[in-house]
Amino acid sequence: MPRLLESEITKYLETLEDSKDGLDGSDSEVEDEGHYYQTARDVLRDLENSDEGENAQSDEVDADPPLVIDNDQNMPDPPILEAGEAVPQNHPDYDRLFKIRPLEEMLNCQFGKVPLDQRLSIDEQMCATKMSHYIKQYMPNKPHKWGFKLYLICSLQGYAHRFEVYSGGGSKNNILPGEPDLGESGNTVVRLARMVPRNVNHIIYFDNFYTSVPLVTYLAKEGIFSLGTVRVNRLRNCKLPDKNTIMKKNVPRGFYEENVATVDDIDVSAVVWKDNKPVNLLSTYVGAEPATTVTRFDKSKKERVAIPCPKVIKEYNAHMGGVDLLDSFIGRYHITMKSRKWTMRLFYHFLDLAVINSWVMFKKNII
């Protein structure tokens, strides 16, 4: 702002004396002086428009300095549209997905109104995209390796009863009182299983990314049975043979062994089975017996032969494919429009989920 001369100030005061309204005459169109300048940028813009405006605002600064100098007092409060939007990013309660959270909650509310089947499966799903975003994930075992990761609980027919978008780990705010902290993967199962009725013989299937002894025992205490493949390092003090022992040539293909232990008054069955490589499973409702047979190709005999197969393997293979079936439906029939906005990309994926769920309900004669 240029320095004002004494002659200019005198001339301006004489002009005000001739006015009937005095000092407030030029402000009659504005009811509240707080509406003059919300930010310092507005002041600078007016000062550049006219010399008279420049002099008037200089006098206004002298009369009430906070209007211009302390512009923090005049900044409007940030709009609070949804919970978490006005929370700073470094705050523990900040929600990275606040822009799509209302839509996600609305869809989950509608999806959850459909009655649950007895057998459900939990797995990951990819919303394919290669845009640059901090919640984008890389999963090499998926058909679409890059994209936004979702967790779903589905029926055997591919109906998604509930889903949630993965936005990064480290938050403990989603753990309700009475729920254990089982890590990111275990907590995901606990959250998705909240909608499952207790003590009515529901069974949940999941893979080795989620399965652990604390998880299956917690679900059993809640009245929900479970079955899943499990990683060896999550079976502490387990007497099952290790990989080196099972893969010896003198151990035939189809060999299996079962150990049953009681953990927190819950019977847990751990089974290892030799196929092309060892497969470990953990269950609270089924074990190795009664065993059946499956056919495999024998390289030495040049023909297919029957080998033993535990009951738990049959159960897992028959009921674990709900999310994969949903993925196949979306892969065939999905919205092909592209967008540079991550919110629109997830919106299209949510719309795909709603369409596929409607079709599955139609096939089941629910609607």
Rg (CA), the chain: 33
pLDDT value of residue 41: 53
**What is the predicted pLDDT for the residue at 1?**
52
Q: What pLDDT was estimated at residue 171?
A: 59
Q: Please state the rounded mean pLDDT for residues 222-239.
A: 91
Q: Which of 225, 182, 219, 211 is nearest to 279 (CA)?
A: 211
Name the nearest CA neighbour of 325 among 195, 154, 189: 154
The rounded distance, in Å, linking the Cα atoms of 52 and 15 is 11
Report residue 70's pLDDT band, with 50, 70 and 90 as the boundaries.
Answer: very low
pLDDT digits (tens, 9 = 90+) for 249-283: 888 999 999 999 989 999 999 999 999 899 999 99
With a cut of 50, say whether residue 191 has pLDDT above it: yes
Q: Can you tell me the distance from the alpha carbon of 266 to that of 225, in angstroms, rounded to the nearest whole number?
A: 11
Domain boundaries, the chain: 6-74, 99-207+323-367, 210-319
What is the arithmetic mean of pLDDT over 356-365? 90
Among 275, 292, 283, which Cα is nearest to 259's? 283
- Looking at residue 135, its pLDDT comes to 80
Q: Is 154 helix (H, G, I), strand (E, B) or coil?
A: strand
pLDDT digits (tens, 9 = 90+) for 167-182: 877 655 678 888 898 9
Beta strands in the chain (DSSP E): 119-128, 136-138, 146-155, 160-165, 202-206, 224-229, 256-263, 266-274, 278-283, 292-298, 303-309
Residue ranges of the alpha helices (H) in 272-367? 311-319, 322-332, 342-363
The one-character DSSP state at 83 is: T
pLDDT of residue 109: 94
DSSP 8-state class, residue 197: P
Residue 285's pLDDT band (cuts 50, 70, 90): very high
Q: What are the CA-CA distances from residue 308 to residues 229, 270, 290, 293, 361 (Å)?
A: 18, 17, 10, 4, 38
* Tens digit of each residue's pLDDT (9 = 90 or more) over 94-113: 778 888 889 999 999 999 99
pLDDT of residue 211: 94
Give me the mean pLDDT over the 46-65 stretch. 50
Average pLDDT, the chain: 80
Least reliable range by pLDDT among 18-22, 172-176, 362-366? 18-22
356-359 long-range CB contacts below 8 Å, 24 or more apart? 356/158, 356/160, 356/326, 356/329, 356/330, 357/111, 357/114, 357/159, 357/160, 359/329
